[in-house]
Amino acid sequence: MNFKELASEYKTPLYVYDLDYMSKQYQELKEAFRGRKSILAYAVKANSNLSVVKHFANLGSGADCVSIGEVRRAFLAGIPAYKIIFSGVGKSDDEIREAIEKDILYINVESEAELFRVAIIAKELNKISRISIRVNPNIDPQTHPYISTGLHDNKFGVDINTAKRMYIFSKNSDSLDPVGVHFHIGSQLTNLEPIYESAVIVADLVRSLEAIDIELKFFDIGGGLGITYDDEATIKPYDYAQAILGTLKGLDLTVICEPGRFLTANAGYFLTKVLYEKQNGAKKFVVVDGAMNDLLRPALYGAYHRIEAITDSASEPRTVDIVGPVCESGDFFAKDYLLPELNHNDLLVVHSAGAYGFGMGSNYNTRGRSAEVAVEKGQARLIRKRENFEDLIALEKEFLEN
């Protein structure tokens, strides 16, 4: 990938996505489930650019969505309704209504109260809503607390007993069709054991439901597969799939997997240019043109991203903080990082930026969000324009007149 050329053509800050890498990741995971009916439902929130979602649609992917906006994106990108799932802990009435009207595969229900809302809304629409229930297996996923979702301390899903009660309610309701069970215990999982233990618990629930004549069709294992940001060992897709499938003996279920980060993170690069170097006491800073409003993960989670300098500088590496222009001390990409002396306009490439990068961006400090570029078979193309000042004020401007 010629980052220098891309930066000069599309300017910085810039997101670049390698679509071929995304395909490779998709195929590897899909292949791991071979021999069993399975759907990969791409977790749209990881990278929701329409061209990226369309790329997955072309590979046969479904979509896991966590807002009706994402559901609309999935439809626009060509994902068929029967492969679209709507998850999330706080769906509004309007969102539920639209999901039912659009006849998506199912709604992942995250609380008893939500189930009652879905039943009422489906009845109003004179429809039967397919649902799945998100179980919280109370297993520690051993990941960052902000991206852990499978403990009772977390807001997600319901405990097994509540889930059972909800399935019985659904079976007896004439506006609900319980078709699946769902769990998603966290993100950036690098340890297989918690996923396996969760699958065992949830598969047991499926068996106990069969015993009372509630037959599910979908076993939705969520996403969460970790990737290598630094030097982490990760879970091999094949081991992951086999561990899950091992818990489903005697059950005739389609496995649904909702990968996000695994498919896109290491396909993405964030390109930013060096503005200045400065020294505050003993501390050396490299100030770049990208900021936390472009890539929030370091500020939000203290996340590590590998950063590569493209420079003619031949100096020895020094320890620096790489920071953006935003008025927050949290606005950094790396702390105490080793880089050679850099010149104005040298390029830094932030790796593993294809998931939870652009999508978490904002317009803080009245900064337009970066452009996005896709590279496929050696060809680069723009897939989102850089936001300009007019874009940023478009929804406010008319109120100045008053």
Ligand X SMILES: *Cc1c(COP(=O)(O)O)cnc(C)c1O
Q: Which residues are catalytically annotated? A: 327
CB-facing half-sphere around the CA of 175: CA atoms within 13 A: 15
Identify the three-state secondary structure at position 271: strand
Among 150, 224, 268, 354, binds ligand X (CB under 6 A): 224
Axis-axis angle for helices 160-172, 192-210 (nearest 10): 40
CB-facing half-sphere around the CA of 277: CA atoms within 13 A: 13
Task: Candidates 115-123, 204-212, 259-267, 277-285: pick the segment binding ligand X (CB under 6 A).
Answer: 259-267
Least distance in angstroms from the C-beta of 400 to ligand X: 39
User: Which residues have C-beta within 8 Å of that of residue 116, sequence separation ≥ 6?
Assistant: none
Within positions 97 to 116, which residues make up the interface with ligand X, using CB under 6 A?
none
Residue 361 region, left (φ>0) first, then alpha (ψ -120 to 50), else beta?
A: beta
The answer to whether residue 290 forms part of the interface with ligand X (CB under 6 A) is no
Within positions 172 to 191, which residues make up the interface with ligand X, using CB under 6 A?
184, 187
- Specify binding-site residues for substrate: 261, 297, 301, 328, 356
Task: Candidates 6-14, 260-268, 344-352, 368-376: pick the segment binding ligand X (CB under 6 A).
Answer: 260-268
- Specify binding-site residues for pyridoxal 5'-phosphate: 224, 258-261, 356
User: Which residues have C-beta within 8 Å of that of residue 199, sequence separation ≥ 6?
Assistant: 183, 221, 243, 244, 247, 248
Among 223, 237, 290, 368, binds ligand X (CB under 6 A): 223
Closer to ligand X by Cβ: residue 19 or 66: 66
The answer to whether residue 30 forms part of the interface with ligand X (CB under 6 A) is no
Within positions 42 to 71, which residues make up the interface with ligand X, using CB under 6 A?
43, 45-46, 64, 66
Q: What is the rounded distance in angstroms from the CA atom of residue 266 to the CA atom of residue 352? A: 4
- Count other C-beta atoms under 10 Å from residue 37's C-beta: 13
Least distance in angstroms from the C-beta of 261 to ligand X: 4
Residue numbers at the binding site for ligand X (CB under 6 A): 43, 45-46, 64, 66, 87, 184, 187, 222-225, 258-262, 355
